[in-house]
Amino acid sequence: MIGRGLPRAYPGMRIGLFGGSFDPAHGGHAHVARTAAKRLGLARVWWLVSPQNPLKPRSGPLAARLASARAQAKGPRMVVTDLETRLGLRFTADTLAALRRRNPGVRFVFVMGEDNMASFHRWRRWPAIFAQAPIAIVPRPKAGARARMAKAFQRYAAARTTPGALRDAPAWTLLSARHDPSNSTALRARRSQ
């Protein structure tokens, strides 16, 4: 469901929330979403195309980023949405709170690439993210030990668990998966040349 209201969810569903600028979306994003869906048995993965990541330079047009995400999000479990724009939200903690209010009984899991761990402590109200949904992290190239030593994840080191035990917040796990080398910065650089 792209550009038509909010995705549907039903009590008892386990849904991955995968946010990003997707400027542009690439195979690495698809790898993260597919890995989380498979390893955690998620009914759906909602690709939350951000109106604008406050920690990044100005993103390209939303319509282009939605189209880019749609091109990568293959399969019936993948749902691309601009729900943050539709709901007037900018920050992940607020998005989680709104989705939990609107969807009682749905079990959300926040999904992210390992490369985001290092800057997670800079996200607005990051402890509220840990409090509202378990977090599943998929390995990304060049992230490694530096990311796992990040301030936020060291603070929640005792909340680390195995994928099979990832149930209620606060909890996080690092999923095992191969690395996909794709990245948006390199794609934008190639496009501008």
Asked if residue 152 belongs to a domain, the reply is yes
pLDDT tens, residue by residue, 159-175: 999 999 999 999 999 99
What is the residue range of 169's domain? 21-192
Sheet with 14-20, strands from edge to edge, namely 78-81, 44-49, 14-20, 107-113, 135-138, 172-174
Contact 49, 82 (CB under 8 A): yes
| DSSP secondary structure of 17-50 | EEEE--TT--HHHHHHHHHHHHHHT-SEEEEEE-
User: Which CATH number belongs to the domain containing residue 147 in this structure?
Assistant: 3.40.50.620
The tens digit of pLDDT for each residue in 57-106 reads: 788 999 999 999 999 999 999 999 999 999 999 999 999 999 999 999 99
Could you give the CA distance from residue 179 to residue 121 in angstroms, rounded to a whole number? Answer: 24
Taking only the tens place, the pLDDT of each residue in 1-31 is: 334 578 999 999 999 999 999 999 999 999 9
pLDDT at 191: 55
Judged against a pLDDT cut of 60, whether residue 190 lies above it is answered with no
Number of domains forming the structure of the chain? 1
Quick one: which H or E segment has residue 135? strand 135-138
Q: Is residue 60 part of a domain?
A: yes
Paired with 136 in beta bridges are 111, 173
Residue-level pLDDT at 56: 78
| pTM exceeds 0.75, yes or no | yes
Q: Is residue 9 part of a domain?
A: no
pLDDT class for 53, splitting at 50, 70, 90?
confident
